Structure 1
Amino acid sequence: MVNLGRLLSTLATSACVTASYLSTLPPVFQNSSSTWAWVSYSNPSVAVLPEPFNRSSLDAPLEGEISDVSIAKEWSFLNKTNFIAYDERFFQIIGPNTVIEHVEQLAYQTHEAPCYNKKTNQVFFTEWGPPGGVNGTHDWQYLYDVASGNLSKIQTHPPTLNAHGCVVYNDTLYVVTDGSGSKEIGTLVKIDPLTWKKEVILNNYFAQPFLGFNDLDIDSDGNYWLTDSKSAYGRGLIDFYYPTNPTVYFVNATTMRPRPVHITTGNANGVAVALNPHDSTRSRQKHTVYLPDTGVSEFLPVSKKNPFGNRGLFAHDASITGGVLSNPRLLNNPISYFYDGLRASRSGLLFAGAGDGVDVIHPADGLTLGTIRVGGGDNLAVGITFGKHELWIVGRGGLWKVSNIAERLDRDW
């Protein structure tokens, strides 16, 4: 005769590894070809942890320390996942058929500026900074052909030095650069993806050189939003001290006149622009501009990550003509690490490179809905670019493709 009490006790003990801290996945995700986990605060085991436990704000939760052996095993399992949901909405956005592939394994250094060009079906991205290139300077970029799976190195005409951010608009690549000190200062350039001809369209603010551009986005009216950061000087790519604090510039596409719209003593990094869902002909705010501050990264005299540095993600309303930001509010502070590359999807969801993976953030409540992981270890997610139902991630470790995403991601413009 089976001892029912002992059987229940055994089942409870074995279930502890998979169900104590982690919530049970929806049935359709239990048989997914990808590995999923669900961490929900509706689960008392998440809301109240057995003490002692600890985690650095710069490390992913799965890297935390805890005295409870069963929960420690579950955290170890999280490192084997492809997707971690923190909110039920994440399941609907990503869907059960999504897969992530590490399509190009490259050097463990920074990769930036991903651009997916749907017309050519190619992904443009860069290797950025030291130790690569010539003393950290790169005069070439990567081009990944999606159909053939071929990765090649290309040069624009003339060469583009130290590209750091990229957006495709009207089938043209718009790229921001750090420049390289005395040879070339930070610029905004346009690149023809068929001929690779490069044209500089902006390189100064009333004769003041830019610090070194980090990223950009283009709004639905074709205007540019540029983040000018101290990263280039901090990593030795330029040889002059930055002339002002990190700044975000709005550039009118018709006049090409730049205007500072945001200044920080931390660091300007990613930027994403989304249409205001409440916009109307009478509205004074057409776009919402999202800016992560990465003052957490400190450079000279010592390169380090300071957990007391700013790493918040802020939302701002942009005036109907652009150029004036108002109503700044803290939307989100990363669960771990800091937000680097940032993009807004067709529906306004925010996708942010966040170290261990790409966080998906809801623009209304600021909650992190889930994470698309890039495999742990030395891999690190930096930048994102959208296709229709897929996205590409670049970072330390190379290029990843995320396919068969349920929600459509690419914007109307």
Structure 2
Amino acid sequence: MQIFWIGLLGVAAAQLDSVPQGFDPNHWAWVSNTDPLLAVIPGTFNRSVYEAPSAANVSDQRVVSINDQINQTSFVAYDERFFDIIGPDAVVEQLQALAFQVHEAPCYIPETNSLFFVEWGPPGGGEKGRHDSQYLLDLTTNNLTLIKTNPPSWNVHGCVYRSGQLHVVTDGGPEETGYLATIDPQTWKRTTLLNNFYERPFISFNDLEIDDDGNYYLTDSYSGWGRTLHPYGVPTPPTVYFVNGTTLRLKELAVLPVGGNANGVSLSPDGSTLYLADTGATGAVATNKTAARNPQGGRDIYAWDFAVSKTTGERLPLLTSQKLLSRAIQYFYDGIRVSESGLIFGAGGEVVEVIDPESGWTLGSIRFGGGGNDPVNVVLGEHELWVVGKGGVWHVKDVKETLRRY
């Protein structure tokens, strides 16, 4: 278990805003434009949209020192509220150091204090990066084991735990299309609920959310199709689907334009707003191969409100008032989850960013050591969160604010 507490360069500490009393400057940085050196950078500077701000190529040595300081912290605040959300006792620790391979679909299972997650896509796995097994991490012992469901589940991509069951979506595999299913974590029996849109295959499911009535919100993306994880169908545009949890009747909620890709999805605590991560910047396209990254593609979180019936006052499976809530400061958001208070946690790049749901301001970032570590998805606990991605599994513990909604 590796804890990311690293000493800072004393020469740089005075060049950033001072963190509040009680917050350790060895773990925290406060970045704001009230310092003229950050609002107007002297000399030359440049970075791509895929790189962290602190990875920028800058000529001014004072800014280099600031970036060195930021690169050694676990928490970067852009707004004073971030200190109150995370609190002074939070720690980032790496539970498992795994291959620099995408890890996805984390689900916390409270009955066994364990974390379900998967290794996804190429280059790992069997032929063409296909995976028919999953990981189970015992959070008491930190023991990691491989499991298989019955029948085996190929290329699980998203997971939500609810009422004793794992609810998962998959990309599909060599002999099956993408589907929505439940998995019993006691027996590992898989029950497939839905695998077609009126006899048409889905592209490849990416993630899902469940509302308080048990209805599903599924993102169908180019990601699995673009990596040839299954051979089925001519893909439709990336789409968000609504599935009635009782009847399994389904319909399209939103269709993304060219250059977009439907990825992480989550709901506000009252269920009135749907959030979607658009990751078109990955470059995955509808040609059954992975294209070069597209920096002009989507790196956004969109927010939609639900339409309300004029006669009954009930929420309808229709979205209105699309808003661009946030565009990632670095890279793009893959998995997103919403906390009890409505904060949005977006994983991508070397960070999980915390976003205000009303203004769209990025309040701060939780860092995971850099060096190629790439958070991909997140699951929220009571005062903690777990993150999976390239490089392994991380735990952020002793967070001040209550996070888990269920």
1:295 is the counterpart of 2:256: no
Match of 1:18 in 2: 13
Give distance in 2, aligned partners of 1:116 and 1:303. 33
**2:371 corresponds to which letter in structure 1?**
G
8 A Cα contact 1:16 1:70, kept in partner: no
- Which ranges of structure 2 fall in alignment gaps of 5 or more residues? 1-8, 308-313
The alignment's TM-score, normalised by the length of structure 2, stands at: 0.92
Give distance in 1, aligned partners of 2:230 and 2:45. 43
Pair 1:322–1:16, CA change in 2 (3 A): farther
8 A Cα contact 2:283 2:292, kept in partner: yes
Write the mapping of 1:279-290 to structure 2, written as runs, cut at 5 A: 286-290=271-275
- Which ranges of structure 1 fall in alignment gaps of 5 or more residues? 1-13, 277-285
Q: SS state of the match for residue 92, structure 1?
A: helix
Write the mapping of 1:181-196 to structure 2, written as runs, cut at 5 A: 181=174, 183-196=175-188
Match of 2:194 in 1: 202
1:409 is the counterpart of 2:403: yes
**2:168 corresponds to which letter in structure 1?**
V
Q: Once superposed, what is the RMSD of the aligned Cα atoms?
A: 1.5
Task: Give 4+ residue runs of structure 1 displaced > 6 Å after superposition.
Answer: none
Write the mapping of 1:285-324 to structure 2, written as runs, cut at 5 A: 286-299=271-284, 303-319=291-307, 320-324=314-318
1:234 is the counterpart of 2:219: no
Give distance in 1, aligned partners of 2:76 and 2:371. 16
Per-residue CA deviations over 1:167-213 (Å, capped at 9, x if unaligned) read 001121000000114x1100000011111110000111111111110
Select the structure of larger CA radius of gyration: 1
1:106 is the counterpart of 2:136: no
Give distance in 2, aligned partners of 1:196 and 1:15. 52
1:395 is the counterpart of 2:380: no
Pair 1:122–1:322, CA change in 2 (3 A): farther
Give distance in 2, aligned partners of 1:260 and 1:372. 34
Give distance in 1, aligned partners of 2:320 and 2:228. 34
8 A Cα contact 1:217 1:273, kept in partner: yes
**2:280 corresponds to which letter in structure 1?**
G
Write the mapping of 1:3-402 to structure 2, written as runs, cut at 5 A: 17-20=12-15, 22-30=16-24, 35-135=27-127, 136-181=129-174, 183-240=175-232, 242-264=234-256, 265=258, 266-276=260-270, 286-299=271-284, 303-319=291-307, 320-402=314-396
Give distance in 1, aligned partners of 2:114 and 2:295. 37
The alignment's TM-score, normalised by the length of structure 1, stands at: 0.91
Q: SS state of the match for residue 305, structure 1?
A: coil
Pair 1:15–1:76, CA change in 2 (3 A): closer
**2:351 corresponds to which letter in structure 1?**
G
Give distance in 1, aligned partners of 2:396 and 2:11. 31
8 A Cα contact 1:217 1:225, kept in partner: yes
**2:375 corresponds to which letter in structure 1?**
A
Aligned residues with identical type, % of pairs: 49
**2:264 corresponds to which letter in structure 1?**
G
Give distance in 2, aligned partners of 1:39 and 1:249. 39
Number of aligned residue pairs: 386
**How far did residue 322 of structure 1 move?**
4.1
8 A Cα contact 2:37 2:63, kept in partner: no
8 A Cα contact 1:314 1:331, kept in partner: yes
Pair 1:322–1:343, CA change in 2 (3 A): farther
Give distance in 2, aligned partners of 1:304 and 1:80. 31
